[in-house]
Chains A and B, each alone.
Chain A
Amino acid sequence: MNKAGDNGPLSLVLVGGSSGSFVIFEEMIRLIRRPLSFALVFVLHRGKSSTAVLPELFKNKTNVVMSEPYHLDPIKVNSIYFAYPDYHLLIGPDARFYYDCSEKDFFSRPSIDATFMSAAVSGIPVKAAMLFSGSSADGAQGMKTLAEKGYPTYVQDPAEAESRRMPEEAIAAYEKHHVMADGNLFSIINDILQ
Protein backbone atom coordinates (compact mmCIF):
# COMPACT_ATOMS: atom_id res chain seq x y z
CA MET A 1 0.00 0.00 0.00
CA ASN A 2 2.97 2.33 0.54
CA LYS A 3 3.92 4.39 -2.41
CA ALA A 4 7.55 4.34 -3.41
CA GLY A 5 9.06 7.82 -3.59
CA ASP A 6 11.68 9.03 -6.01
CA ASN A 7 14.52 7.85 -3.81
CA GLY A 8 13.37 4.38 -2.90
CA PRO A 9 10.61 3.09 -0.66
CA LEU A 10 9.33 5.31 2.12
CA SER A 11 10.38 4.81 5.71
CA LEU A 12 10.09 7.16 8.66
CA VAL A 13 12.29 8.48 11.41
CA LEU A 14 10.15 10.07 14.12
CA VAL A 15 11.41 12.56 16.66
CA GLY A 16 9.43 13.91 19.60
CA GLY A 17 10.24 16.33 22.37
CA SER A 18 9.14 19.29 24.40
CA SER A 19 10.87 21.74 26.72
CA GLY A 20 14.63 21.24 26.50
CA SER A 21 14.56 19.40 23.18
CA PHE A 22 14.98 22.28 20.80
CA VAL A 23 18.78 22.43 21.00
CA ILE A 24 19.00 18.69 20.38
CA PHE A 25 16.79 19.01 17.30
CA GLU A 26 19.01 21.79 16.05
CA GLU A 27 22.15 19.72 16.50
CA MET A 28 20.47 16.71 14.90
CA ILE A 29 19.70 18.65 11.75
CA ARG A 30 23.27 19.91 11.66
CA LEU A 31 24.48 16.30 11.66
CA ILE A 32 22.76 15.48 8.38
CA ARG A 33 25.49 15.04 5.80
CA ARG A 34 23.88 13.30 2.86
CA PRO A 35 20.45 12.81 1.29
CA LEU A 36 18.16 11.01 3.70
CA SER A 37 16.83 7.61 2.70
CA PHE A 38 13.73 8.27 4.86
CA ALA A 39 11.33 11.05 5.87
CA LEU A 40 12.29 12.76 9.12
CA VAL A 41 9.29 13.95 11.15
CA PHE A 42 9.65 16.28 14.13
CA VAL A 43 6.93 16.80 16.70
CA LEU A 44 7.83 19.55 19.11
CA HIS A 45 5.31 20.94 21.56
CA ARG A 46 4.60 24.55 20.75
CA GLY A 47 2.01 27.07 21.80
CA LYS A 48 -0.74 27.70 19.27
CA SER A 49 0.39 31.25 18.85
CA SER A 50 3.96 30.20 18.21
CA THR A 51 4.97 32.25 15.22
CA ALA A 52 8.39 30.68 14.89
CA VAL A 53 8.50 28.86 11.60
CA LEU A 54 10.77 25.93 12.36
CA PRO A 55 11.88 25.30 8.78
CA GLU A 56 13.06 28.92 8.67
CA LEU A 57 14.96 28.62 11.92
CA PHE A 58 16.79 25.52 10.80
CA LYS A 59 17.19 26.53 7.19
CA ASN A 60 20.90 27.13 7.02
CA LYS A 61 21.72 23.97 8.95
CA THR A 62 21.08 21.55 6.10
CA ASN A 63 20.30 21.24 2.40
CA VAL A 64 17.47 18.81 2.92
CA VAL A 65 14.01 20.20 2.10
CA MET A 66 12.13 21.22 5.27
CA SER A 67 8.48 22.08 5.63
CA GLU A 68 5.43 22.27 7.81
CA PRO A 69 3.31 20.10 5.54
CA TYR A 70 -0.24 20.80 4.39
CA HIS A 71 -3.15 18.43 4.80
CA LEU A 72 -2.91 15.55 2.30
CA ASP A 73 0.66 16.34 1.21
CA PRO A 74 2.46 13.14 0.18
CA ILE A 75 5.23 12.07 2.58
CA LYS A 76 8.52 11.90 0.73
CA VAL A 77 11.94 10.50 1.53
CA ASN A 78 14.81 12.93 1.91
CA SER A 79 12.49 15.50 3.46
CA ILE A 80 12.19 16.97 6.93
CA TYR A 81 8.75 17.76 8.31
CA PHE A 82 7.61 19.69 11.36
CA ALA A 83 4.23 19.38 13.05
CA TYR A 84 2.28 22.65 12.84
CA PRO A 85 1.03 24.32 16.04
CA ASP A 86 -2.57 23.74 17.17
CA TYR A 87 -3.14 20.63 15.01
CA HIS A 88 -2.31 16.97 15.41
CA LEU A 89 -0.21 15.67 12.54
CA LEU A 90 -1.25 12.16 11.50
CA ILE A 91 0.49 9.78 9.15
CA GLY A 92 -1.88 8.00 6.79
CA PRO A 93 -1.58 4.47 5.39
CA ASP A 94 -1.63 6.09 1.93
CA ALA A 95 1.66 7.88 2.77
CA ARG A 96 0.03 11.29 3.09
CA PHE A 97 -0.13 13.67 6.02
CA TYR A 98 -3.50 14.23 7.66
CA TYR A 99 -4.35 17.02 10.07
CA ASP A 100 -6.73 16.66 12.94
CA CYS A 101 -7.87 19.25 15.45
CA SER A 102 -9.70 17.02 17.88
CA GLU A 103 -8.95 17.37 21.56
CA LYS A 104 -5.47 17.78 22.97
CA ASP A 105 -3.43 14.94 24.43
CA PHE A 106 -1.70 15.93 27.67
CA PHE A 107 -2.68 19.56 27.01
CA SER A 108 -0.76 19.42 23.76
CA ARG A 109 -1.67 19.91 20.13
CA PRO A 110 0.36 18.75 18.29
CA SER A 111 0.74 15.72 20.46
CA ILE A 112 3.62 13.29 20.01
CA ASP A 113 1.35 10.33 20.75
CA ALA A 114 -1.04 11.28 17.93
CA THR A 115 1.73 11.27 15.33
CA PHE A 116 3.55 8.23 16.69
CA MET A 117 0.40 6.11 17.10
CA SER A 118 -0.74 6.93 13.57
CA ALA A 119 2.68 5.97 12.22
CA ALA A 120 2.63 2.70 14.16
CA VAL A 121 -0.59 1.55 12.46
CA SER A 122 0.13 3.09 9.04
CA GLY A 123 2.05 0.12 7.71
CA ILE A 124 4.89 2.43 6.69
CA PRO A 125 8.16 1.10 8.16
CA VAL A 126 9.58 3.17 11.00
CA LYS A 127 13.36 3.15 10.89
CA ALA A 128 13.60 4.71 14.33
CA ALA A 129 11.58 6.72 16.83
CA MET A 130 13.28 9.03 19.32
CA LEU A 131 11.96 10.85 22.35
CA PHE A 132 13.75 13.60 24.22
CA SER A 133 13.39 16.06 27.06
CA GLY A 134 9.95 17.30 28.04
CA SER A 135 7.68 17.90 30.99
CA SER A 136 4.60 15.79 30.21
CA ALA A 137 3.76 12.12 29.65
CA ASP A 138 3.04 12.69 25.97
CA GLY A 139 4.91 10.27 23.70
CA ALA A 140 5.05 7.34 26.13
CA GLN A 141 2.05 5.59 24.59
CA GLY A 142 3.24 6.13 21.03
CA MET A 143 6.77 4.94 21.80
CA LYS A 144 5.45 1.82 23.49
CA THR A 145 3.20 1.02 20.54
CA LEU A 146 6.05 1.48 18.08
CA ALA A 147 8.34 -0.74 20.17
CA GLU A 148 5.68 -3.45 20.39
CA LYS A 149 5.36 -3.33 16.63
CA GLY A 150 9.05 -4.19 16.49
CA TYR A 151 10.38 -0.78 15.49
CA PRO A 152 13.60 0.57 17.10
CA THR A 153 12.87 3.13 19.81
CA TYR A 154 15.34 5.47 21.52
CA VAL A 155 14.81 7.54 24.64
CA GLN A 156 17.07 10.20 26.06
CA ASP A 157 18.48 9.29 29.48
CA PRO A 158 16.12 11.08 31.90
CA ALA A 159 19.04 11.86 34.18
CA GLU A 160 20.55 13.94 31.43
CA ALA A 161 17.42 15.50 30.00
CA GLU A 162 16.69 19.14 30.80
CA SER A 163 13.14 18.04 31.72
CA ARG A 164 13.17 14.41 32.76
CA ARG A 165 9.44 13.68 32.89
CA MET A 166 8.88 12.82 29.25
CA PRO A 167 11.69 10.26 28.84
CA GLU A 168 10.96 8.93 32.32
CA GLU A 169 7.29 8.27 31.51
CA ALA A 170 8.27 6.54 28.27
CA ILE A 171 10.61 4.19 30.10
CA ALA A 172 8.03 3.59 32.84
CA ALA A 173 5.51 2.57 30.17
CA TYR A 174 7.96 0.29 28.39
CA GLU A 175 11.36 -0.50 29.86
CA LYS A 176 13.08 -1.94 26.81
CA HIS A 177 13.61 1.30 24.86
CA HIS A 178 17.23 2.01 23.99
CA VAL A 179 18.46 4.68 26.36
CA MET A 180 20.71 7.35 24.93
CA ALA A 181 23.09 8.94 27.40
CA ASP A 182 25.09 12.09 26.81
CA GLY A 183 28.23 10.15 26.04
CA ASN A 184 26.69 8.39 23.07
CA LEU A 185 23.62 10.54 22.35
CA PHE A 186 24.86 12.18 19.18
CA SER A 187 26.77 9.17 17.93
CA ILE A 188 23.56 7.12 18.13
CA ILE A 189 21.62 9.90 16.42
CA ASN A 190 24.31 10.15 13.80
CA ASP A 191 24.14 6.40 13.09
CA ILE A 192 20.37 6.58 12.70
CA LEU A 193 20.55 9.53 10.35
CA GLN A 194 23.06 7.99 7.93
Chain B
Amino acid sequence: MVLMEYPELEVLIAQIREISGFDFSGYARPSLLRRASRYLANHKMNHEQLLVHIEPGGRVVYDLIQELTVNYSEMFRDADFFMKVRTEVFTYLESYPTLRFWVAGCATGEEAYSMAIFLKEAGFLNRSLIYATDLSNKALTAAREGVFTLGNARTYSENYLAAGGKHSLSDYYHVAYNKAVMVPDLRRNIVFSMHDLTGDGVFNEFQFISCRNVMIYFTLELRRKVFRLLYDSLSMLGFLCLGKRETLRYSGLEENFKIIDSTLNIYQKIR
Protein backbone atom coordinates (compact mmCIF):
# COMPACT_ATOMS: atom_id res chain seq x y z
CA MET B 1 0.00 0.00 0.00
CA VAL B 2 1.65 3.20 -1.16
CA LEU B 3 0.43 6.19 0.80
CA MET B 4 2.18 8.82 -1.23
CA GLU B 5 4.27 9.03 -4.39
CA TYR B 6 6.67 11.70 -5.57
CA PRO B 7 4.21 13.75 -7.68
CA GLU B 8 1.85 13.96 -4.68
CA LEU B 9 4.74 14.97 -2.45
CA GLU B 10 5.44 17.91 -4.76
CA VAL B 11 1.81 19.00 -4.47
CA LEU B 12 2.10 18.80 -0.68
CA ILE B 13 5.34 20.82 -0.68
CA ALA B 14 3.69 23.55 -2.79
CA GLN B 15 0.63 23.64 -0.56
CA ILE B 16 2.65 23.83 2.66
CA ARG B 17 4.63 26.71 1.18
CA GLU B 18 1.50 28.56 0.18
CA ILE B 19 -0.18 28.17 3.54
CA SER B 20 2.71 28.59 5.94
CA GLY B 21 5.58 30.03 3.97
CA PHE B 22 7.76 27.09 4.99
CA ASP B 23 9.66 25.83 1.98
CA PHE B 24 10.56 22.14 1.74
CA SER B 25 11.79 22.41 -1.82
CA GLY B 26 15.41 22.04 -0.71
CA TYR B 27 14.72 18.90 1.28
CA ALA B 28 15.83 15.47 0.06
CA ARG B 29 12.78 13.81 -1.40
CA PRO B 30 13.36 10.19 -0.35
CA SER B 31 13.39 10.88 3.39
CA LEU B 32 10.70 13.55 3.11
CA LEU B 33 8.47 11.03 1.35
CA ARG B 34 9.17 8.46 4.05
CA ARG B 35 8.21 10.91 6.78
CA ALA B 36 5.12 12.18 4.98
CA SER B 37 3.97 8.59 4.41
CA ARG B 38 4.49 7.79 8.06
CA TYR B 39 2.51 10.87 9.01
CA LEU B 40 -0.37 9.62 6.85
CA ALA B 41 -0.14 6.11 8.31
CA ASN B 42 -0.04 7.43 11.90
CA HIS B 43 -3.01 9.71 11.30
CA LYS B 44 -4.88 7.13 9.25
CA MET B 45 -5.47 9.37 6.27
CA ASN B 46 -4.60 9.49 2.59
CA HIS B 47 -2.87 12.38 0.88
CA GLU B 48 -6.10 13.98 -0.42
CA GLN B 49 -7.43 14.12 3.13
CA LEU B 50 -4.15 15.62 4.28
CA LEU B 51 -4.37 18.39 1.67
CA VAL B 52 -7.83 19.27 2.97
CA HIS B 53 -6.60 19.07 6.54
CA ILE B 54 -3.80 21.59 6.21
CA GLU B 55 -6.09 24.38 5.11
CA PRO B 56 -5.18 27.99 5.92
CA GLY B 57 -5.95 29.20 9.41
CA GLY B 58 -5.56 25.79 11.02
CA ARG B 59 -2.61 24.61 13.01
CA VAL B 60 -2.36 21.19 11.37
CA VAL B 61 0.15 22.50 8.87
CA TYR B 62 2.51 23.49 11.70
CA ASP B 63 2.21 20.09 13.32
CA LEU B 64 3.00 18.55 9.97
CA ILE B 65 6.06 20.76 9.44
CA GLN B 66 7.17 19.86 12.93
CA GLU B 67 6.89 16.15 12.22
CA LEU B 68 8.61 16.43 8.87
CA THR B 69 11.58 18.32 10.26
CA VAL B 70 12.16 16.95 13.74
CA ASN B 71 15.38 15.02 14.19
CA TYR B 72 16.09 12.21 16.57
CA SER B 73 19.20 12.14 18.63
CA GLU B 74 20.73 10.55 21.66
CA MET B 75 23.47 11.51 24.07
CA PHE B 76 26.95 10.46 22.96
CA ARG B 77 25.55 8.99 19.76
CA ASP B 78 28.48 7.21 18.08
CA ALA B 79 30.70 6.70 21.10
CA ASP B 80 33.78 6.29 18.89
CA PHE B 81 33.19 9.79 17.52
CA PHE B 82 33.09 11.33 20.99
CA MET B 83 36.14 9.34 21.99
CA LYS B 84 38.04 10.80 19.05
CA VAL B 85 36.85 14.32 19.84
CA ARG B 86 37.96 14.08 23.45
CA THR B 87 41.35 12.66 22.59
CA GLU B 88 42.45 14.19 19.32
CA VAL B 89 40.36 17.32 18.85
CA PHE B 90 40.38 18.53 22.46
CA THR B 91 44.13 18.17 22.66
CA TYR B 92 44.37 20.61 19.81
CA LEU B 93 41.81 23.04 21.20
CA GLU B 94 43.35 23.07 24.65
CA SER B 95 45.65 25.96 23.79
CA TYR B 96 42.84 28.41 22.93
CA PRO B 97 41.97 31.00 25.61
CA THR B 98 38.30 30.95 24.62
CA LEU B 99 36.39 28.44 22.56
CA ARG B 100 33.18 28.53 20.59
CA PHE B 101 31.37 25.36 19.60
CA TRP B 102 28.35 25.12 17.34
CA VAL B 103 26.00 22.17 17.37
CA ALA B 104 24.05 22.90 14.19
CA GLY B 105 20.66 21.20 14.06
CA CYS B 106 20.72 20.31 17.75
CA ALA B 107 17.13 18.99 17.97
CA THR B 108 16.33 18.42 21.64
CA GLY B 109 19.86 19.09 22.83
CA GLU B 110 21.36 15.66 23.45
CA GLU B 111 24.57 16.38 21.62
CA ALA B 112 25.01 19.83 23.16
CA TYR B 113 24.78 18.35 26.67
CA SER B 114 27.16 15.55 25.69
CA MET B 115 29.64 18.15 24.47
CA ALA B 116 29.27 20.16 27.69
CA ILE B 117 29.94 17.06 29.79
CA PHE B 118 33.14 16.23 27.93
CA LEU B 119 34.30 19.85 27.99
CA LYS B 120 33.75 19.88 31.71
CA GLU B 121 35.74 16.70 32.16
CA ALA B 122 38.51 18.10 29.99
CA GLY B 123 38.55 21.19 32.22
CA PHE B 124 37.62 23.85 29.72
CA LEU B 125 33.89 24.18 29.89
CA ASN B 126 34.31 27.48 31.72
CA ARG B 127 36.10 29.09 28.80
CA SER B 128 33.80 27.54 26.21
CA LEU B 129 30.48 28.57 24.77
CA ILE B 130 28.32 26.01 23.02
CA TYR B 131 25.82 27.44 20.55
CA ALA B 132 23.14 24.88 19.90
CA THR B 133 20.71 25.81 17.16
CA ASP B 134 17.69 24.35 15.49
CA LEU B 135 14.83 25.62 13.38
CA SER B 136 12.23 24.09 15.65
CA ASN B 137 11.15 26.22 18.58
CA LYS B 138 9.46 23.25 20.13
CA ALA B 139 12.66 21.20 20.04
CA LEU B 140 14.62 24.14 21.50
CA THR B 141 12.18 24.55 24.36
CA ALA B 142 12.68 20.90 25.25
CA ALA B 143 16.44 21.31 24.85
CA ARG B 144 16.52 24.24 27.27
CA GLU B 145 14.69 22.22 29.87
CA GLY B 146 17.28 19.47 29.58
CA VAL B 147 14.84 16.79 30.59
CA PHE B 148 15.20 13.34 29.10
CA THR B 149 13.24 10.13 29.36
CA LEU B 150 14.76 8.02 32.07
CA GLY B 151 14.31 4.97 29.89
CA ASN B 152 16.91 6.37 27.50
CA ALA B 153 19.38 7.10 30.27
CA ARG B 154 20.73 3.57 30.21
CA THR B 155 21.65 3.75 26.52
CA TYR B 156 23.13 7.22 27.06
CA SER B 157 25.11 5.92 29.98
CA GLU B 158 26.52 3.04 27.95
CA ASN B 159 27.42 5.46 25.16
CA TYR B 160 29.07 7.79 27.66
CA LEU B 161 31.26 5.07 29.12
CA ALA B 162 32.13 3.67 25.70
CA ALA B 163 33.19 7.18 24.66
CA GLY B 164 35.64 7.29 27.56
CA GLY B 165 33.57 9.22 30.09
CA LYS B 166 35.48 9.65 33.35
CA HIS B 167 32.67 9.36 35.85
CA SER B 168 29.14 8.10 35.76
CA LEU B 169 26.57 9.81 33.56
CA SER B 170 24.24 9.91 36.56
CA ASP B 171 26.60 12.48 38.08
CA TYR B 172 25.22 14.91 35.49
CA TYR B 173 21.52 14.52 36.03
CA HIS B 174 19.09 14.03 38.84
CA VAL B 175 15.93 12.01 38.66
CA ALA B 176 12.55 13.67 39.08
CA TYR B 177 9.15 12.30 38.14
CA ASN B 178 10.77 9.44 36.29
CA LYS B 179 12.78 11.83 34.13
CA ALA B 180 16.47 12.58 33.93
CA VAL B 181 17.02 16.31 34.51
CA MET B 182 20.43 17.62 33.47
CA VAL B 183 22.27 19.57 36.16
CA PRO B 184 22.01 23.38 35.67
CA ASP B 185 25.78 23.69 35.81
CA LEU B 186 26.03 22.22 32.28
CA ARG B 187 23.42 24.57 30.89
CA ARG B 188 25.34 27.69 31.88
CA ASN B 189 27.66 27.52 28.89
CA ILE B 190 25.11 26.44 26.31
CA VAL B 191 23.16 28.96 24.26
CA PHE B 192 20.11 27.42 22.65
CA SER B 193 18.77 29.52 19.85
CA MET B 194 16.74 29.39 16.70
CA HIS B 195 18.64 29.22 13.44
CA ASP B 196 17.58 27.87 10.06
CA LEU B 197 20.57 26.43 8.24
CA THR B 198 18.73 26.72 4.95
CA GLY B 199 18.02 30.45 5.21
CA ASP B 200 19.92 32.18 8.00
CA GLY B 201 23.51 33.28 7.66
CA VAL B 202 26.79 33.30 9.57
CA PHE B 203 26.32 34.55 13.15
CA ASN B 204 29.66 33.84 14.78
CA GLU B 205 33.03 32.24 14.23
CA PHE B 206 33.66 28.80 15.66
CA GLN B 207 36.58 26.54 16.44
CA PHE B 208 34.35 23.51 16.23
CA ILE B 209 31.13 22.77 14.36
CA SER B 210 29.19 19.57 14.64
CA CYS B 211 26.47 19.11 12.03
CA ARG B 212 25.89 15.40 12.14
CA ASN B 213 23.05 13.74 10.27
CA VAL B 214 21.42 17.06 9.44
CA MET B 215 22.43 17.68 5.86
CA ILE B 216 21.29 14.20 4.87
CA TYR B 217 17.83 15.75 4.80
CA PHE B 218 18.75 18.37 2.20
CA THR B 219 19.01 18.11 -1.58
CA LEU B 220 22.41 18.12 -3.20
CA GLU B 221 22.03 21.81 -4.11
CA LEU B 222 20.88 23.00 -0.70
CA ARG B 223 23.50 20.82 0.96
CA ARG B 224 26.18 22.63 -1.02
CA LYS B 225 24.84 25.97 0.20
CA VAL B 226 24.77 24.83 3.83
CA PHE B 227 28.31 23.47 3.51
CA ARG B 228 29.36 26.95 2.44
CA LEU B 229 27.68 28.47 5.50
CA LEU B 230 29.44 26.03 7.81
CA TYR B 231 32.75 26.67 6.10
CA ASP B 232 32.30 30.44 6.43
CA SER B 233 31.43 30.03 10.10
CA LEU B 234 34.61 28.12 10.92
CA SER B 235 37.81 29.80 12.02
CA MET B 236 40.96 28.74 10.20
CA LEU B 237 42.02 25.30 11.49
CA GLY B 238 38.58 24.86 13.02
CA PHE B 239 36.95 21.44 13.01
CA LEU B 240 33.89 20.25 11.12
CA CYS B 241 32.14 17.03 12.11
CA LEU B 242 29.61 15.18 9.97
CA GLY B 243 27.54 12.04 10.52
CA LYS B 244 29.07 8.64 9.93
CA ARG B 245 27.65 8.04 6.47
CA GLU B 246 28.16 11.57 5.22
CA THR B 247 31.19 12.77 3.28
CA LEU B 248 32.62 16.00 1.92
CA ARG B 249 31.98 14.62 -1.56
CA TYR B 250 29.68 16.71 -3.72
CA SER B 251 30.12 19.66 -1.32
CA GLY B 252 32.35 21.72 -3.60
CA LEU B 253 34.69 22.33 -0.63
CA GLU B 254 36.67 19.11 -0.61
CA GLU B 255 39.96 20.96 -1.17
CA ASN B 256 39.47 23.31 1.78
CA PHE B 257 39.57 20.66 4.46
CA LYS B 258 42.08 18.22 5.81
CA ILE B 259 40.75 14.82 6.83
CA ILE B 260 41.31 14.17 10.52
CA ASP B 261 39.33 10.95 10.54
CA SER B 262 37.68 9.59 7.42
CA THR B 263 35.60 6.97 9.22
CA LEU B 264 34.25 9.28 11.89
CA ASN B 265 34.03 12.19 9.46
CA ILE B 266 36.08 14.80 11.28
CA TYR B 267 37.64 17.50 9.10
CA GLN B 268 39.80 20.55 9.69
CA LYS B 269 39.58 23.78 7.72
CA ILE B 270 42.96 24.45 6.13
CA ARG B 271 42.24 27.07 3.48
A positions within 8 Å CB-CB of B: 68-72, 84, 86-88, 90-93, 98-103, 114, 117-118, 120-122, 141, 144-145, 148-149
Contacts and interface: CB of A to CB of B under 8 A. Distances in A.
Nearest to A104: B72
Interface in B28-85: 28-31, 33-35, 37-38, 71-72
Contacts of B220: 72
B1 interface: yes
A102 B246 contact: no
10 contacts: A71-B243, A72-B220, A72-B250, A84-B244, A92-B29, A100-B216, A102-B34, A102-B71, A117-B34, A117-B37
Nearest to B220: A72
B106 to A, nearest CB: 15
B2 A121 contact: yes
A122 B28 CA distance: 13
A90 B2 contact: no
A92 B38 CA distance: 17
B38 to A, nearest CB: 8
A177 B220 CA distance: 37
A126 B164 CA distance: 45
A10 to B, nearest CB: 16
Contacts of B1: 141, 144-145, 148
B6 A100 contact: no
Contacts of A99: 213, 216, 243, 245-246
A118 B30 contact: yes
Contact of A71 (B5, B35, B216): B216
B14 to A, nearest CB: 18
Contacts of B31: 90, 98, 100, 102
A101 B213 contact: yes
B247 interface: yes
B33 A118 contact: yes
Given A71-B245, A102-B38, A121-B33, 13 more contacts: A71-B246, A87-B245, A90-B30, A93-B30, A98-B28, A98-B30, A100-B216, A100-B217, A102-B71, A103-B72, A117-B34, A118-B30, A148-B1
